[in-house]
Structure 1
Amino acid sequence: MKTTNQIIIVDLEATCWENDRIPIGQKVDIIEMGICKLDLISNTISQKQSIYVIPERSEINRFCTNLTGITPQLIKEKGIYFEEACEKIRDEYNPELLTWAGYGNFDREQIIEQSDWLGIENPFSGQYLNVMYEFKNHFRLHKSMGLKRALDYLKMDFEGHHHSGADDAYNTAKILNKILE
């Protein structure tokens, strides 16, 4: 595997329900893939974007829209299928050559699960960095903390809207950059 000075940061938004009560016949589906690239030499974050994904096994409800800001209308206008989103990421980020990271394990597990369900190859490499875990270890904390609390701990402002995939990916990149300084 090639080593590189760049890491891809991913943050997903997915269909969700109040109190995690998933209706019978529905499954958690990715509805946004927020992504950016962290350059470890220049300490810059680039290629930040949201890729909206059409849910294939569930519907976006009011609770989910209130949390993420993602509406069925937005998906209708800008959404692409998960397989197309993976192809777009392959074309724009060369993810198979880079380590990728997320805040916690949900993003990694959901991408693997949805790729397996569709019978497609996970677009990312096997090199995954759990930034929540790295943050906890780096600062020798007794327990993990969420993205916003980690930024507060670092005396950094959250930029953008929480539960926007692209903004959460960007803020995760800021935390990772700080840890790796």
Structure 2
Amino acid sequence: MIALDEVLVADVESTCWEGTPPAGEISEIIEIGICPIEVATGKRGERRSILVRPSRSSVSPFCTQLTTLTQADVNEGLPFAEACAVLRKEFRSDRRVWASYGDYDRKMFERQCADFGVRYPFGPRHLNVKTLFALTHALPREVGMAEAVRLTGRKIDGTHHRGHDDAYNIAGLLVGLLRR
């Protein structure tokens, strides 16, 4: 049974490169940002960052420039399977509706879970806030998260491309959509 009292907003950061990845490396999750929303009140919970230690890639200088995360930071992270277990245990992620900005995050989780034989940490209900925002605002196309925040008259809270800060900003957008 899916609980509808909270929506769990998630945002992932992944290893990335300027251009093609080095031989033998594949993009994988290095940070899971989480921000729950109480549906009844629209209140955003605390933002949380779960660092994930990559096993098939390393953090490039481009990735550090984009996310501020270094290889040393993610070396201290959890293995992917443990990070997924934290989502289930601490956030009841497998029994909640979850949301992300676009389909990238959902697809990264699906691919990485399949690749590593890890149980998918979320329930079956996913909200794509990017599409919902464009439809609700009658935009001619989907826009990036930073542009959506700007269109609502706000500024990015925290560091763009850090999972916990992006999840918090996406949660703010979703609260606005739920309150419309």
TM-score, shorter chain, exceeding 0.5: yes
- 1:73 correspondence with 2:69: no
Partner of 1:152: 150
Task: Quote the Cα distance in structure 1 between the aligned partners of 2:95 and 2:106.
Answer: 16
- The alpha carbon displacement at 1:95 in A equals 0.9
- C-alpha distance in structure 2 between counterparts of 1:7 and 1:165, whole Å: 16
- Match of 1:91, SS? helix
SS at match of 1:65: helix
3-state SS of 2:45 partner? strand
Quote the Cα distance in structure 2 between the aligned partners of 1:172 and 1:34. 11
Q: Partners of 2:97 and 2:2 in 1: how far apart? A: 10
2:46 and 2:119 map into 1 onto residues whose CA distance is 23
* Residues 24-75 of structure 1 deviation map (CA, whole Å, 9 limit, x = unaligned): 2111110000011011111111141100000111111111111100001112
Equivalents in 2 of 1:74, 1:118: separation in Å?
22
Query: d(CA) in 2 for partners of 1:90 and 1:47?
Result: 17
Aligned residues: 179
**AA in 2 matched with 1:49:** R
Equivalent residue number for residue 34 of structure 2: 35
Amino acid of the residue matched to residue 35 of structure 1? I
TM-score normalised by structure 1 residue count:
0.96
Give me the CA root mean square deviation: 0.9
Structure 2 partner of 1:14:
14
Runs of 4+ in 1 over 2 A off after TM superposition: none
- Residue aligning to 1:138: 136
Provide the rounded CA distance (Å) in 1 between the counterparts of 2:67 and 2:163: 8
Runs (5+) with no aligned partner, structure 2: none
- What is the CA distance between 1:4 and its match in structure 2? 1.4
Cα displacement (A) at 1:108: 0.2
Q: Residue 75 of structure 1 aligns to which amino acid in structure 2?
A: V
Counterpart of 1:9, as a letter, is: V
Which residue of structure 1 lines up, in the alignment, with residue 178 of structure 2? Answer: 180
What code does the residue aligned with 1:55 have? P
Q: Partners of 1:156 and 1:39 in 2: how far apart?
A: 21
Once the two structures are TM-superposed, the CA of residue 148 in structure 1 deviates from its matched residue by 0.8
Matched with 2:51 is 52
